Amino acid sequence: MPYTHGTQEWEEAYTAVTKKRMDSEKKPYIYFMPEWVGAWEEFLKADPVYKSVALPDWKGAVVLHVLKNADYGVEQDIYVYLDLLANQVRSIRIVPSDYGKSGAFVITGTIERWMAVGKKELDVVKGMMQGKLKLKGNLPAIVRAIKPAVRLVDAAAEVGGLMPDAWTPEIIESIKETIKNMAAEFNIN
């Protein structure tokens, strides 16, 4: 039986799995896998730049929605949920789709688009304006928070990671396996 999202058990198990993978997986971590998400979280929680630009009255989760693409071993959509409050990054988790969709701001893109963002080849603001990334949520609120939003993305690039264009067949197989296990254990369908 998978853990139920929102419970203490889910959180403890997710944290344990992430920690274990961060200790065991080779760096650079694979983009959007739990260990990479964990590294991003660690980076942002300690990031003085984010703290300085974040809005003191900010409320609302930002969700990066990665569209599935079997060619890359991503056989279901991934929702990376950034729980943000004021100038704090409270947590970043891969979450079940229903919960991910409920985030205040959901930015959706293909793996290729997210890779371009990660490589700083695609500016996230331009990407949204051109429709390469789709935003769901209150636009004035996110425009008001444009500086912290840009910092979140810049931080993802600074964390680094193994980009999809460097994924070998073996890596793609491991991604398939990881997502399958995460789905089974954490109900992230």
Binding region for other proteins (CB under 8 A): 121-123, 125-131, 135, 138-141, 143-144, 146-147, 150
Name which of 125 and 163 has its Cβ closer to other proteins. 125
Report the nearest approach of other proteins to the CB of residue 141 (Å). 7
Report the nearest approach of other proteins to the CB of residue 20 (Å). 37
User: How far is residue 100's CA from residue 102's CA, in Å, rounded to a whole number?
Assistant: 5
Name which of 30 and 122 has its Cβ closer to other proteins. 122
Report the nearest approach of other proteins to the CB of residue 137 (Å). 11
Name which of 93 and 151 has its Cβ closer to other proteins. 151
Polymer length of the chain: 189
Q: How far does Cα 44 stand from its chain's mean position?
A: 12
Q: What are residue 135's DSSP bridge partners? A: 107
Q: How many CB atoms lie within 10 A of CB 22?
A: 17
**103: left (phi > 0), else alpha (psi -120 to 50), else beta?**
beta
Report the nearest approach of other proteins to the CB of residue 58 (Å). 12
**Residue 146 and residue 184 in contact, taking contact as beta carbons nearer than 8 Å:** no
Q: What are residue 106's DSSP bridge partners? A: 63, 136
Report the nearest approach of other proteins to the CB of residue 115 (Å). 14
**Alpha-carbon dihedral 134, 111, 6, 25, rounded to 10 degrees:** -150
Name which of 121 and 165 has its Cβ closer to other proteins. 121
Name which of 86 and 139 has its Cβ closer to other proteins. 139
User: How far is residue 70's CA from residue 171's CA, in Å, rounded to a whole number?
Assistant: 13
